[in-house]
Amino acid sequence: MPLKKQLASLWRIRVSFLLLFLAFVGSMLFVYHNHSFYEDAIVEIVETSLEDRTEVTDGYDNQDIIFTQHLLGELRNGDYKGESIYIVHEYTASGVYHPEFSVGDELFVVIDQPLAGEMLTGGILDVKRDQDLLFLAWVFIFVLLIVGKRQGFLAVISLFVNAVIISYALDVYIHTSNIRLLLMMGIAVILMTILSLLLISGFHERTYAAIVATLLGTFLLLLIAVFVLWLTEEQGLRYEEMAFLTRPPQTVFVAGLLVGSLGAVMDVAVTISSSLFGLYEKNHSISNKDLKSSGMEIGKDIMGTMTNILFFAYVSGTIPSLLLYFMNDAPLGFALSMNLSLELTRALAGGIGIVLTIPIGLYTTIFFVNRKRVKV
Amino acid sequence: MNALVLLTLILFVSMTIIGGKKGVRSFVALFINFIVLIITVLIMTDPSANPILLTIIACILISCTTLFFINEVNHKTKTAFVSTILTTVLLLFFIAFITERTMIQGFADEEIEGLTTFSFYLGVDFVKIAASVIIMSTIGAVADEAISISSPMFEIYRHNPHLSQKELFLSGIRIGKDLLGSSANTLFFAFFGGYLALLIRFKDLNYSFGQIMNAKVFRAEMVTILCAGIGVALIIPITAFITSYVLVKFEVGKEQ
Q: What is the pLDDT of residues A219-233, one digit of tens each?
A: 999 999 999 999 998
B209 touches chain A (CB under 8 A): no
Mean pLDDT estimate for chain B? 89
Residues A197 and A98 grouped into a single domain: no
Residues A211 and A352 grouped into a single domain: yes
A279 belongs to a structural domain: yes
Residues A122 and A185 grouped into a single domain: no
**B249 Rama sector, left if φ>0, alpha if ψ -120 to 50, beta otherwise:** alpha
**Nearest C-alpha neighbor of B118 from the set A55, A292, A321, A75:** A321
Residue B64, SS3 per DSSP = helix
pLDDT value of residue B256? 46
CB-nearest partner of B113 from A244, A257, A308 = A244
A204 belongs to a structural domain: yes
**Separation between Cα atoms, residue A257 and residue A237, nearest integer Å:** 14
Residues A124 and A203 grouped into a single domain: no
Residue B132: list chain A partners with CB under 8 A.
319
**Separation between Cα atoms, residue A362 and residue A330, nearest integer Å:** 46
Residue B169 above 50 pLDDT?
Answer: yes
pLDDT value of residue B21? 92
**Nearest C-alpha neighbor of A126 from the set B115, B216, B203, B198:** B216
A196 touches chain B (CB under 8 A): yes
A246 belongs to a structural domain: yes
CB-nearest partner of B182 from A200, A242, A349 = A200
Contact criterion met (CB below 8 Å) for B130 and B105: yes
pLDDT value of residue B65? 92
Interface probe for A, chosen from B214, B225, B230 (most Cβ of A below 10 Å), is: B214
A203 belongs to a structural domain: yes
B48 touches chain A (CB under 8 A): no
Q: Which of A128, A146, A161 is the last residue of a domain?
A: A128
**Nearest C-alpha neighbor of B195 from the set A313, A125, A189, A219:** A313
Containing A50, the helix (H) or strand (E) segment is: strand A41-57
A12 belongs to a structural domain: no
Interface probe for A, chosen from B40, B150, B200 (most Cβ of A below 10 Å), is: B200
CA distances in angstroms from B248 to B153, B161, B166, listed in the order given: 11, 9, 10
Q: How many pairs of residues across A and B have Cβ atoms under 8 Å apart?
A: 418
Residue B254 above 80 pLDDT?
Answer: no
The predicted model scores a pTM of 0.90
A214 touches chain B (CB under 8 A): no
CB-nearest partner of A260 from B178, B190, B219 = B190
Our count of domains for chain A comes to 2
Residue A68, SS3 per DSSP = strand
pLDDT, averaged in runs of 10, over chain A (376 residues)? 76 86 92 88 90 86 89 88 89 84 89 83 87 92 91 90 93 85 93 93 90 96 94 86 79 92 94 92 89 91 91 92 90 90 93 96 94 82
β-pairing verdict for A106-111 and A84-92: unpaired
Residues spanned by the domain of A70 = 36-128
Phi and psi at residue A140, to the nearest 5°: -55, -50
Name the residue of chain B whose CA is nearest to A300's CA: B19
pLDDT value of residue B36? 96
pLDDT value of residue A248? 83
pLDDT value of residue B253? 56
**Separation between Cα atoms, residue B62 and residue A259, nearest integer Å:** 26
ipTM score assigned to the predicted complex: 0.91
**Separation between Cα atoms, residue A125 and residue A129, nearest integer Å:** 12
CB-nearest partner of B11 from A108, A249, A352 = A352
Q: Are A352 and B222 inside 8 Å of each other by CB?
A: no
Q: What is the CATH number of the domain that holds A355?
A: 1.20.1640
Report which DSSP code applies to B56: H
A92 touches chain B (CB under 8 A): yes
Contact criterion met (CB below 8 Å) for A187 and A168: no
Q: Are B103 and A267 inside 8 Å of each other by CB?
A: no
Q: Which residues contact A236 (CB under 8 A, 6 or more apart)?
A: A337, A341, B2, B3, B4, B5
A168 belongs to a structural domain: no
pLDDT value of residue A39? 85
Q: Are A94 and B106 inside 8 Å of each other by CB?
A: yes
pLDDT value of residue A175? 87
**Separation between Cα atoms, residue A235 and residue B145, nearest integer Å:** 36
Residue B224: list chain A partners with CB under 8 A.
317
CB-nearest partner of A94 from B114, B124, B227 = B124
CA angle B48, B224, A171 (to 5 degrees): 140
A157 belongs to a structural domain: no
3-state secondary structure B161-229: CCCCHHHHHHHHHHHHHHHHHHHHHHHHHHHHHHHHHHHHHHHHCCCCHHHHHHCHHHHHHHHHHHHHH
Residues A194 and A329 grouped into a single domain: yes
Single-letter code of the amino acid located at B21: K
Q: Residues B25-50: what's their mean pLDDT? A: 93
Q: What is the CATH number of the domain that holds A121?
A: 2.40.50
Q: Which of A97, A128, A159 is the last residue of a domain?
A: A128
**Separation between Cα atoms, residue A278 and residue A290, nearest integer Å:** 13
A123 belongs to a structural domain: yes
